[in-house]
Chain A
Amino acid sequence: MTRRPLHLSGALFAVLALPPVARQLESSMAGHMAVQVPLLVLCGILAFGAVPESVRRRLAAWDRHGLVGLGLALSAMAYWMLPRWLDAALADPVVELAKFVTVPLLWGMPLAWAWSRLGLVGRGFVAAHLVALAWVLGWFYANAPARMCANYLLEEQQTLGSALLALGTAGALAGLLRVVVGAPRPAADGQPLRLDGTHVLGNH
Chain B
Amino acid sequence: MRAATALAAVLVAGSATLWQATDGLRAFTTEAARRLAVEAAPRRLPAATLEDQDGRSLRIADYAGGIVLVDFIYTRCPTVCTQMTDTLREVAAALPSRLGDGIHLLSISFDPDNDTTHALRDYAALQGADPTWRFARVVDRGDMPDLLEAFGVVVLPDGFGGYVHNAAIHVLDAEGRLAAIHDFTDVEGLVARLERTS
One of A8-16, A59-67, A128-136, A189-197 contacting the partner: A59-67
Asked if A68 is at the interface (CB within 8 A of a chain B CB), the reply is yes
The interface residues of chain A, by DSSP majority, are classed as helix
Report whether B30 and A68 are in contact in the complex, using a CB–CB cutoff of 8 Å.
no
Q: Are A68 and B28 in contact (CB under 8 A)?
A: no
- In the complex, what's the smallest C-beta–C-beta distance from B146 to chain A, in angstroms? 14
Q: Mark A91-126, 1 if CB is under 8 A from B, else 0.
A: 000000000000000000000000000000000000
Within 8 A of A (CB), among B15-30: 15, 17-18, 21-22, 27-30
Q: Is the CB of A61 within 8 A of B7?
A: no
A to B contact number (C-beta, < 8 Å) = 70
Residue contact B28 to A82, C-beta cutoff 8 Å: yes
Which residues of the other chain, A, contact B11 by a CB distance below 8 angstroms? 71
Query: What is the bound-complex CA distance between A147 and B18, given in angstroms?
Result: 21
State whether A82 touches B154 (Cβ < 8 A): no
CA distance A88 to B15 in the complex (A): 20
A62 touches B22 (CB 8 A): no
Assess the A64–B17 pair: CB atoms within 8 A. no
Which B151-165 residues have C-beta < 8 A from chain A?
154, 156, 158-159, 164
**Chain B nearest CB, measured from A67 CB (Å):** 5
Q: Bound state CA distance, A151 and B47, in angstroms?
A: 25
Contact B13 A75 (CB under 8 A): yes
- Verify A74–B14 contact, CB threshold 8 A: yes
Number of interface residues of B (CB under 8 A): 26
Secondary structure dominating the interface of B: helix
A69 to chain B, nearest CB (A): 8
Residue ID in chain B nearest A79 by CB atoms: B21
Residues on the B chain within 8 Å of A78, using CB: 14, 18
Q: A61-B2, A88-B30 are in contact. Are A72 and B14 (CB under 8 A)?
A: yes
Which residues in A have their C-beta under 8 angstroms from that of B15?
A: 75
Residues of A close to B156: CB separation below 8 A: 151-153
Q: Contacts A84-B30, A88-B30, A148-B29 hold; do A153 and B14 have CB atoms under 8 A apart?
A: no
Question: Which residues of B (140-175) have their CB < 8 Å from a CB of A?
Answer: 154, 156, 158-159, 164, 166
A-B contacts besides A79-B18, A153-B159, A153-B164, 8 pairs, CB < 8 Å = A62-B3, A68-B7, A71-B11, A78-B18, A84-B27, A84-B30, A150-B154, A151-B156
What are 17 A-to-B residue pairs whose CB atoms are below 8 Å? A65-B3, A68-B10, A71-B10, A75-B18, A78-B14, A78-B18, A79-B21, A82-B21, A83-B28, A83-B29, A83-B30, A84-B21, A84-B32, A87-B29, A152-B156, A153-B156, A153-B159
